[in-house]
Amino acid sequence: MKKIINKPINFVEESIDGLVKSHPDIYAIAKDNTRVITRAKKASKKVGIVTGGGSGHLPVFTGYVGKGFLDTCAIGSVFASPSVDQMVSAIKNADNGNGVLCIIGNYGGDVMNFEMACEMVEAEGIKTKKIIVADDIASASEAEKLKRRGIAGMIFVFKIAGAIAETRASLDEVFKTTSEANNNIRTLGVALSPCILPEAGKPTFEIGSDEIEIGMGIHGEPGIKREKLKPANELVDDLYKRIINDSKISENDTIAVMINSLGATPLEELYIVSKRLTENFSKSKINKIKTYVGRYATSMEMAGFSITAIKLNDNLSKFLFADSECPFWTK
């Protein structure tokens, strides 16, 4: 294992500390829990927006705390859910008396712990609502989409929820529009190589040097199929067709797209993907108004990428492109 770390056991705390010290105008560590990140300056008179999840995915989850995005984030160990206590702290630190929306990636531990945390804070008078992000089309069929995992699409959900909340909309209003956005998002990825967890010291899975796996999860969960590596255009065409067929995006629809590195895949390769993807949308007469290219939701040093598409209307576009303050997001 070759990693730029000190002791593996200190990996999460040191990375959190480094994040906060690098961007002290954006982030702070909660006073009551060192595994909760808050905004450096707490917002007021708005609905709180909260998430939480395991480490090893930066910028997800912690990186998207900031104005126009999240208010707080609970942080688990690498690829592990935060505890109920950490989630309770995140919710309380985000609460301004107007309720809190919890945005949860669809993983068993995250969902279960947030449900318990919400019950606990509601007993103390804090109103909550939950949105479960399940955008990974590889992990279940359309008929069973509630079983799908939450991956890079959650960033669009964070952004839109955060922007609505900044308008001082009610909890019900934030929930309604964010739910609409959540239902319009589809993601599919492909893995080329595994990652290594610091405390494990070995790859999360094995794959041949000439193989790829379409639909593999960000923790190494099985995908749709494993096959030989093929030219970029053929690979993009395959992913494009699957996303379009599942999302029902069609001619004259307006969309935004995210091309996300899983960690090790360089920008040059992502732009090759973007080129082909743009050509496909143009041929289909789909109006792609924005492409985000970069590292948005990673899996340590895993090589590969994901494509996320969100179908937009005027209202969702307004919130997606609203101003925000986040080191990992450009308008």
Partners of 49 in the β-ladder: 101
> What size, in residues, is the chain?
331
Looking at the annotation, which residues are catalytic? 57, 219
Q: How far is residue 313 from each of residues 43, 54, 68, 180, measured CA to CA in Å?
A: 28, 32, 19, 10
CA gap 132, 56 in Å, rounded = 20
* CB of 78 closer than 8 Å to CB of 40: no
> What pTM did the predictor assign?
0.97
Question: Phi/psi at 57 (nearest 5 deg)?
Answer: -125, 10
Domains annotated on the chain, with CATH: 8-183 (3.40.50.10440), 185-320 (3.30.1180.20)
Q: Using pLDDT thresholds of 50, 70 and 90, give the confidence band for residue 39.
A: very high
pLDDT tens track for 25-36: 999 999 999 999
pLDDT tens track for 223-268: 999 999 999 999 999 999 999 999 989 999 999 999 999 999 999 9
pLDDT tens track for 93-142: 999 999 999 999 999 999 999 999 999 999 999 999 999 999 999 999 98
User: Helices 171-183 & 154-166, crossing angle to 10 degrees?
Assistant: 150
